Structure 1
Amino acid sequence: MNQSRKLTDGALLTAIFMMLLIVSIYIPVFVIVLPLPFIIFASRHNWKPSLLMFAVVLVLTAIFTNVLSISLPILMGVGGIMIGSAMFQKSSAYETWARGTLGFIAGLLFVFVFSQIMFDINWVDEFEQTVTESMEMSSSILEEIGVGEQTDELKEAWQGQIAVFKDLFPAGLVMIALVMAFISQWIGYKVVNRLEKKKYRFPPFRTLRFPTSIVWVYFFALVFSFFDIDQSSIFYTGINNLLVLTGLLMTIQGFSFIFFYAHHKKMSKVFPIIIVIVTLIFPMLLLYLVRILGIIDIGFGIRDRMTKKEK
């Protein structure tokens, strides 16, 4: 009976995926729901049977579209299976998010390599070329209207920014995977809850707490960033990307503590929301303060101290 249900679910969800894939070619917004069939199937039957569905999808994609189109099913399939299998194993929402992020990172890396090999397209080079062309166009416009005296300085500044963006490409890849995993998981929770009367949900943001080890990783990356390291070395790129990613996590932790503090003190929900908005409007002034707050929260357990005082 169970085997029969696996086959039925697999056939139905494979057909749904193929329809969504074809629709997304003409309406790209449908791309965001492509992981959904894999999430549903893996949440019911775990990852091993999902691999068979994954293989069938790849074959059908090659037949009905072309071999060059398999990068999208691979990206969405791996991420969806990682999220669905975590749901099957009753992992916490944030652990599921982490596993989904790893799945999308693997998928994005495949797409990056695949596009490089099959189409000779390098995302980093394409980004640099696009920004350079935009910069040249802006410079010519400035010269035409008679304010092109500082064009050379602007070009130099833009080139410096391009170099920074190229170095932080791995961090950008991880951030994209984080967002893709969150959106896919959120949609997956909604659909599975509706179909199977489950109660999957993200816990309140104020309860988010990253492990203490992240503080140490951030600290060591920060220390190494002060060393005189060859900027063309892989070690330099790795340290910079690690610093950006752990810094982002510390910032998220800081926002989470602000929501916790507001809830603990029975303040209005508007208070932390306003702080987040103001911080995003004035990031250079407030973002580092929020990051420091996140580091203190994780490193010194402020929440635990506040909770104990109430008891």
Structure 2
Amino acid sequence: MKFSFKSAVWSVVYLLLLLSLLTPLSVLAIFFMMIPGVILFASLPVKSFIWHLVPVAIILVVFSPIYLLLLLLFTLPAIIMGNAYKKKKSALFALMAGSGAMLAEYLLLLLIGSVIFQFDLSSYIDDVVRLTIEPLTNTSSQMVNGFVWTPEMTQDVARQTQLMIPFALVVTSLVMALITHLIARPILKVMGVVVPKFPPAREWRMPRALIWYYFLALLFEVISRQSDGTYWTMIAVNLSPLINLGFMIQAIGFFFFLSHAKKWNPVVPYLLAAAVFFIGPLRIIGIIDLAFPLREAISKPKR
């Protein structure tokens, strides 16, 4: 069995992260949960990887059996992502595989919770929103601030939050996989495991079909406004932000390409990339870049 001090350390890190999930630190720790598992699986043979998890599982059982479920929850996506590294797949493939596995597990947990344990996510979100907004409904705070928060506003916030659950799950899964890749890749490189990196930002391009998805999202939005059901509304509410995120990535890629072609100061594209997240209309650059050959026109040699 392959054993080293470094791999033992990462087993301990995995144990501590798992134990932190039932504490207030879980809000932050959850985004780093796949890192130890990915590093261990990508750097060790399968049998050695299993033996590194055995003592972690034994210690977790001592604290609470629920930790075993958490161990399984985050280990499976880590194995899928680590296996992509072992097979020398592209960074994008590893990202999509890891985030897709994590998203599938989230959906499976929601299904199990609702069917077996009768867990009502809508009621839970409604209670959390009401508890969070309760200070705004306090009479004294309304008198001081001159702002009146009505029960109807609370109900609208709870409804919008419930509708955005799919989008939140997708983004959370993507962010977890992205953070895992950005941290695990240099660590694995030090450990002698070669992991492909993302292509330069100037080469980032989204599929041109995203434009058709954009028009489809607009159609869903029109349908949702004319119907009373929540099905079309949920599709429109979740599809539009995801597509806009794609346009933002396209715009960022264009800014880096333009900076590289015009030989601007290296700081400029980073400032423009940050502006894309705060200035919504800038994503139109991404739409134009997808619809028209802007980059080809810029890189075309002048006669």
TM-score normalised over the length of structure 1? 0.78
The aligned amino acid for 2:91 is A
Structure 1 residue 61 displacement after superposition: 6.4
Deviations 1:151-195 (A, max 9, x none): 43xx43443233222111101110111111111111110210111
Q: Following TM superposition, by how much is the alpha carbon of 1:5 offset from its aligned partner in structure 2, in angstroms?
A: 3.9
- The Cα offsets for residues 7-55 of structure 1, whole Å up to 9 and x where unpaired, read as x999886566335534666765555543233212432468x76996798
Contact 2:34 2:176 in 1 (8 A): no
2:263 aligned residue? 266
2:18 aligned residue:
21
Question: Contact 1:193–1:200 at 8 Å: present in 2 too?
Answer: no
Contact 1:36/1:184, CA 8 A, preserved across alignment: yes
**Aligned partner of 2:205 among 209, 213, 220:** 209
Aligned to 1:38: 37
Q: Among residues 294, 297, 301, which one is paired with 1:302 in the alignment? A: 294
1:106 aligned residue:
104
Total equivalences in the alignment? 299
Amino acid at match of 1:262: S
Q: Which moved more, 1:269-278 or 1:217-226?
A: 269-278
SS at match of 1:196: coil
In structure 2, what is the equivalent of residue 127 of structure 1?
125
Which is further off, 218-227 or 184-193? Answer: 218-227
Runs (5+) with no aligned partner, structure 1: none
How far the C-alpha of 1:201 sits from its partner, in A, is: 2.8
Q: 1:215 touches 1:295 (CA, 8 Å); kept in 2?
A: yes
Query: Percent same amino acid among aligned pairs?
Result: 22
Superposed CA offset, 1:83-125 (max 9, x none): 2112112222222211121122123334444555787655543
Q: Say if 1:71 and 1:110, in contact at 8 Å, map to a contact too.
A: no
Give distance in 1, aligned partners of 2:243 and 2:195.
31
Structural mapping, 1:1-311, within 5 Å: 4-5=1-2, 17-18=14-15, 20-22=17-19, 28=26, 31-44=30-43, 60=58, 63-113=61-111, 122-140=120-138, 141-145=140-144, 147=146, 150-152=148-150, 155-196=151-192, 198=194, 200-227=196-223, 230-281=227-278, 286-287=279-280, 289-309=281-301
TM-score normalized by the length of structure 2: 0.80
Structure 1 residue 258: Cα displacement:
1.5
| Counterpart code for 1:88 | K
1: distance between equivalents of 2:170 and 2:61? 31
User: Which is further off, 49-58 or 115-124?
Assistant: 49-58
Higher RCO structure (Cα 8 Å, ≥6 apart): 2
Q: Which amino acid aligns with 2:218?
A: L
* Contact kept? 1:10, 1:53, Cα under 8 Å: no
Counterpart residue identity of residue 86, structure 2: F
Distance 1:210 1:54, change over 3 A: farther
When the two chains are superposed, the root-mean-square deviation of aligned CA atoms in Å is 3.7
Decide whether aligned partners of structure 1 residues 184 and 139 sit closer, same or farther in structure 2, where only a CA change above 3 A counts. same
